[in-house]
Structure 1
Amino acid sequence: MIKMKIVLLLLLMPIINIKYAYSEPDSAVIAEAMKEGKLVWYSSAVKDACWRILYEFEETYPFIETTLFQGGSNKIQDKFEEEIKSGNIEADVIHVSLPTAFHRWRDGGNLAEYHSKEYAAFPPQYKDDGWWASARNITVCIAYNSQTLPSDKAPKTWSDLLDEKWDGKLIVGNPLLYGTRQVQYYALRTEFGKEFWHRISELAQRVEKPRELKEFFLDPKSQVSVTYLGYFYDRYSIKLGEPVRAVWPKDGVPLVQSPVAIAKNSPHPNAAKLFLDFILSREGQALFQVLAGDYSVRDDVPPMPGKLPFDELNIIPIDWDDFEYRKQEYLMEFQELFDKQLQKNLLEETEGK
């Protein structure tokens, strides 16, 4: 059980006491959920946050035993779509940072329609009534090493990064591997044109894994990350005190919605309704925000300490249909830009020897 798995985790985590009222579930749904007795959640959120969410859910509904399948968004998408093909659905609730996948699953009849009362608290652009709402909202920002770069010298906008002084001091995450970087590439490509990314490719080095990002910040020659996720700042700087500072640029913040929905023909549909209501409730959103470090768009959830309030961010709007249409084109473009620059750098190094 989830409770057994997170006893140590609860001892290590700070005490979180968040209690708000949320919509009372239908008694018939509770009765059927008691018969089902189980819930299976697929989530791309960080594992310790997922465990704590499920622990609190089990505290609220002790007659439901929960199971977590956690992984990257693409991994979960592939697993769920294999289940769709086989007709053997194991997931009850799906939560990944791939908004276009939810559009496709809805249109393909692979999501269960459910009109949660909690949807009313979500702005129209962050939900698809009857199908899903965005449980987490991941910002992509600029980050810098505060031990090597004073705050008054740090870049404040994306345009600031194009200066020659950042040559060799920038890193960029690879959008070929992570959906959040794909959204960032699309958002900034749409906002500033291909020229922006061409210039970044001349100044920055590409990293493949989050571990390399951490190593970058420990290098005294390195200073700025072009692709930093807002929740990294929350987890590593605010909670662990590491010397990384984040900047949410004034000229636009890419934002990745992370919807949550119920799978069609799920094995425990009533438990799934209870869980969806819980995770989208004021209590669930406040808890998720503290644990995962991502924004909630509910206006009755207090802002996170140490971070800008959500309504002060200059969010770059995303046309998700256009994003899906151009995704492969832009991924190939990124690959071409950075491969060319890598080849140029290698040639210059060879000629210099």
Structure 2
Amino acid sequence: MMILNRRLMLGLAAGGAMARLAPAAAQELRPHEKELYEAAKREGQITWYTGQYQAEPSQAIGRGFTERFPGITVNVVRSTSQVAFQRLAQDMRAGVAQCDVFSSTDHSHAAYLKRQGRLMPYKPHNAEGLIRAAKEAGDPDGHFQVTYLGLFLMARRSTDVSEAEAPKSWKELTDPKWRGRIAVGHPGYSGAITSWCLAMREKYGWDYFKALEKNQPQIGRSSADPVTMLNAGERQIGAAIPSATTLLSISRGNPITLIYPTDGTLMVPAPSGALKDAPHPNAARLFMEFMTSPTYYAVTRPFFSESLRPEVPPPPGSRPLDEVPLITADPKALERDGQEVKELWRDTFGV
């Protein structure tokens, strides 16, 4: 596990401190975008495998791209990150090239694809305008770029659990009083949950999860599934849930309150990359430019996603990142130990 230093936190916080959002419609295409657009229009479409956002914002991103680059449609194939990677792996085994751009919340997916020579070496020009933390977390050789920064924390159903009663830390989730009241995702489906498992194992050992199992959590697939369970009143505490999905649910009147754990909110830098054998290579490059542009973060902001561009303010209702203790899983540990924690999870929880 890596504790984020002050330099990195200030790089993240700069996205809010200097935010000035220009209307997307007023943004002119830059010369490199115009050149790619002309070539991409002849291809006419792009297929995007993504596990970074839920279905609604993913579709909004597809529409936003087409609005900015008319004549090019986006085939959005949204699933959890592990399922998206499994689908891509099946395509590769079958010798079929369907995916143009792949986005995951699991850094090890991008590292593996790069090592296998499956990613296109293309560094978007627009990535130069990202906040420093995002640029530094990308691939130095330009095979993938961080396009999404997920924050994963806890939440309570405020009609059932008071602020005074609520757990304050990840460790407190093992208290027997939360037996039958917790909801969480599954590392076999969610890259973010894999990161959380590694971070918790580093901090507390696997005995933490043995203790958590005794509290009989309701286990979904996606990290966002517990938000649905809290909305329905099936559970009262959500563990390792995305801030963006939770804030969106709160904005729609659901009785949920975020809990920033005192032992660290999990930050997951999530990569995207264009495939080397992309059937629409120019559209794929253009989509990578879009994903690192101010327009992209203006499109995702209504869904409470963290902005990686200084021109776009942070989402309403979130805390400034320089005020939040942040932890993140070591990318090398994700690749080395990710499969191990998935197997340990299945052995411990039986699912």
Q: Same fold (TM over 0.5)?
A: yes
What secondary structure is seen at the aligned counterpart in 1 of 2:187? coil
- CA 211–37 in structure 1, closer or farther in 2 if over 3 Å, else same: closer
Q: Aligned runs of 1:1-353 on 2, under 5 Å?
A: 18=24, 21=27, 24-26=30-32, 27-44=34-51, 45-120=53-128, 121-122=130-131, 123=133, 124-129=135-140, 130-208=142-220, 214-215=228-229, 218-219=232-233, 222-238=235-251, 240-291=252-303, 293-339=304-350
Contact 1:138/1:295 (<8 A) preserved: yes
Residue correspondences, number: 322
Q: Distance in 2 between matches of 1:269 and 1:233?
A: 35
By how many angstroms is 1:316 displaced? Answer: 1.1
Contact 2:184/2:239 (<8 A) preserved: yes
- Give the structure-2-normalised TM-score: 0.81
Q: Distance in 2 between matches of 1:177 and 1:194?
A: 19
Q: Distance in 2 between matches of 1:179 and 1:39?
A: 24
What secondary structure is seen at the aligned counterpart in 1 of 2:306? coil
Q: Distance in 1 between matches of 2:264 and 2:202?
A: 11
Amino acid at match of 2:248: R
By how many angstroms is 1:78 displaced? Answer: 2.2
By how many angstroms is 1:261 displaced? Answer: 1.2
By how many angstroms is 1:333 displaced? Answer: 2.6
Contact 1:139/1:294 (<8 A) preserved: no
Amino acid at match of 1:297: L
Which has the larger displacement, 136-145 or 41-50?
Answer: 41-50
Q: Alpha-carbon deviations, 1:186-237, whole Å to 9, x = none?
A: 11111222232232222342323566764456448x5322232223312211
By how many angstroms is 1:105 displaced? Answer: 0.9
Q: Distance in 2 between matches of 1:335 and 1:326?
A: 15
Contact 2:49/2:99 (<8 A) preserved: yes
Contact 2:187/2:194 (<8 A) preserved: yes
Contact 1:141/1:230 (<8 A) preserved: yes
What secondary structure is seen at the aligned counterpart in 1 of 2:217? strand
- CA 277–107 in structure 1, closer or farther in 2 if over 3 Å, else same: same
- CA 241–190 in structure 1, closer or farther in 2 if over 3 Å, else same: same
Instruction: Compare CA radii of gyration and give the structure with the larger one.
Output: 1
Q: Distance in 2 between matches of 1:20 and 1:50?
A: 23
- CA 248–37 in structure 1, closer or farther in 2 if over 3 Å, else same: same
Amino acid at match of 1:112: M
By how many angstroms is 1:179 displaced? Answer: 2.5
Q: Distance in 2 between matches of 1:192 and 1:280?
A: 36
Contact 1:20/1:282 (<8 A) preserved: no
Amino acid at match of 1:154: A
Q: Alpha-carbon deviations, 1:229-248, whole Å to 9, x = none?
A: 2233122112x111111112
Q: Distance in 2 between matches of 1:336 and 1:75?
A: 20
- CA 171–35 in structure 1, closer or farther in 2 if over 3 Å, else same: closer
Q: Which structure's relative contact order is higher, taking Cα pairs within 8 Å and 6+ residues apart?
A: 2
Contact 1:140/1:229 (<8 A) preserved: yes
Identity of matched residues, %: 23
By how many angstroms is 1:42 displaced? Answer: 2.0
Amino acid at match of 2:50: S
By how many angstroms is 1:125 displaced? Answer: 4.1
What secondary structure is seen at the aligned counterpart in 1 of 2:238? strand
- CA 25–71 in structure 1, closer or farther in 2 if over 3 Å, else same: farther
- CA 212–302 in structure 1, closer or farther in 2 if over 3 Å, else same: closer
Q: Distance in 1 between matches of 2:45 and 2:348?
A: 48
Which has the larger displacement, 171-180 or 71-80?
Answer: 171-180
Q: Alpha-carbon deviations, 1:257-290, whole Å to 9, x = none?
A: 3322111121221122222111211221232232
Q: Distance in 2 between matches of 1:248 and 1:21?
A: 36
Amino acid at match of 1:47: A
Contact 2:213/2:349 (<8 A) preserved: yes
Contact 2:138/2:144 (<8 A) preserved: yes
Contact 2:156/2:238 (<8 A) preserved: yes
Which has the larger displacement, 16-25 or 144-153?
Answer: 16-25
- CA 25–89 in structure 1, closer or farther in 2 if over 3 Å, else same: farther
- Give the structure-1-normalised TM-score: 0.81
CA RMSD of aligned residues (A): 2.7
Q: Distance in 2 between matches of 1:182 and 1:237?
A: 25
Q: Could you tell me which residue of structure 2 aligns to residue 12 of structure 1? A: none
